[in-house]
Amino acid sequence: MFKYLETLEQEKHVNAFRFLDGENSYNITFETYIRDIKECATRLENLMGPLEGKHIALIGGNSYEYVIIAIALMFSRAVFIPLNFREMEENLKFAVKNSDAEYLIADDLEKFSFLSDVKTYSFDIALKGDVEAKDLKDFTEEEANNLMMIVYTSGTTSLSKGVMLSVGNIFGGEKIALPKGYSNGFEPYPGMPIYTNFPFYHIGGLLALITWSEHACTFYQSVHPENILDDLVGEEIDYACVLPGTLKLWLKAIRRGHVDRLGNVKILCTAGAPVSVEDVKEITSHGIAFGQYYGMTETGGNATFNFDMEHHMASVGRPYDDAEIKIIDGEIGINYWGNMMGYYKNDEATEEILRDGMIFTGDLGHLDEDGYLYITGRKKNLIILSGGENVSPEELENYMYANSNVKECIAFEKNDRIHVSVFSEEGTQDEIKAHVEELNKKLPLYKRIYGVEFRDTEFEKTGTGKIKRTAIAI
């Protein structure tokens, strides 16, 4: 079991965080970080009694207070439930009830007053009030199978499900973001400047926080996320892992020669959605190394990595040494020590995805001779026509994206034929229709696109920037 608290103690004078806020930017050392976690644990216990085994939900944007409360809950042996503050009211109410949350801690009590069925506290609990530090301990091997957190997924087609992650799923081994020998010579070191904007309610944000602090790196965060292109001016960043939507924004800055606005980042990564080959080429042509990860909340985060874009440009990567990837009837299966315990109070859904310890991802793909994984579509999204033909909507969407005027699109079935809904800039509809006409000349009959519908707003998205397929009425 990884000794998280013990590791932090060894680097107490290194900066654990740098919060970017213009002239008001500030640093937090690991010494202060550890003290604040332990004092927060005391405040929590004073208000809620012994925390071990209690289900406690946390909702709010990324902040130092969020970090302190989350880690204090974990090491107090509570069951930590991070909630997506962007979710609809109905889904949040469902998550609080479904998770058996006894308490809720929120950064805005008024905004989340509709969750008042449980006792609610504010983020003031993190840092306000003089108390003695609680003597927190690292986890033991005997605790490996204990439930640590319930993370609600942002599904593209259905209500969220509560992914149960154990102590062993999170701290069963050292988390590695830059695998030695595969990451272009980059290796983490104490004080290494790391930037990410993945939200902490998402497994990517939580694991980034834990992973980089395990290596005593300095974790950079924007106090005001909307200032992301201003915050890094004058900063020097070695590594950044950003949301797919942010990557698009950064690409514009890169094309304009403004890498300085990205902290002169040396290695740029993303996860959660595919990146086009053209975008990867654009990034690397400016001397920035690029990498991407693949995994799910259900696999406890990333199971593959790709920093060899030169030879495996379209791949989501090779598995970590302690992960196994199998292709079963075209579907990607993952064996990994991060694999979830199951869905909370949902045995039926658990049995569909978790079989003999393997997570069946629902993604379609193949492995090349070097063991690199390529995703070709989504099994659950398959369009099945009356003639028995299976059509991957992602395949057709990728063909549509070959026309730069297509900003976002969804392929779907209507009256037993393929249609697409497209978000694009005004005045480009005729060009897109012409693109579809040319495309149809190459496609087999059953894959041809018979209707193009245009919309003037972006599609609704999940917390990681994936288009929700329920965003279109089919």
| 184 pLDDT above the threshold of 60 | yes
The 10s digit of each residue's pLDDT in 124-147 is: 999 999 999 999 999 999 999 999
Phi-psi region of 126 (alpha: psi -120 to 50; beta: other; left: phi over 0): alpha
In this prediction, residue 472 has a pLDDT band, given cuts at 50, 70 and 90, of: low
Of the candidates 320, 373, 334, 370, which has an alpha carbon nearest to the alpha carbon of residue 183?
320
In this prediction, residue 468 has a pLDDT band, given cuts at 50, 70 and 90, of: confident
The 10s digit of each residue's pLDDT in 328-372 is: 999 999 999 999 999 999 999 999 999 999 999 999 999 999 999
CATH superfamily of 382-471: ANL, C-terminal domain (3.30.300.30)
User: How would DSSP label each residue in 137-152?
Assistant: ----GGGTTSEEEEEE
Domain spans in the chain, listed from the N-terminal domain onward? 4-373, 382-471
| 82 pLDDT above the threshold of 50 | yes
Residues in the chain: 474
Residues 6 or more apart whose Cβ sits within 8 Å of residue 111: none
Q: How far is CA 120 from CA 56, 57, 59, 299, in A?
A: 10, 9, 11, 31
| 157 pLDDT above the threshold of 90 | no
| 223 pLDDT above the threshold of 50 | yes
Q: How far is CA 173 from CA 1, 11, 170, 214, 424, in A?
A: 6, 19, 8, 11, 45
Q: How far apart are CA 428 and CA 220, in angstroms?
A: 39
| Domain 4-373 top-level CATH class | alpha beta
Name the average pLDDT for the chain: 91
Q: How far is CA 379 from CA 177, 209, 332, 365, in A?
A: 28, 31, 10, 10
Q: Taking the CA atoms of the chain, what radius of gyration do you get in angstroms? A: 23
| 420 pLDDT above the threshold of 90 | yes
Element (H, E) at 209: helix 203-214
| 118 φ, ψ (degrees, to nearest 5) | -115, 155
Looking at the chain, the whole-number percentage of residues with pLDDT higher than 70 is 97
The whole model's pTM is what? 0.84
In this prediction, residue 474 has a pLDDT band, given cuts at 50, 70 and 90, of: very low
| 259 pLDDT above the threshold of 60 | yes
Q: Number of helices (H) and strands (E), helices first, in the chain?
A: 12, 26
| 190 pLDDT above the threshold of 70 | yes
Give burial (CB, 10 Å; 0-12/13-18/19+) of 421.
Answer: buried
| 4 pLDDT above the threshold of 90 | yes
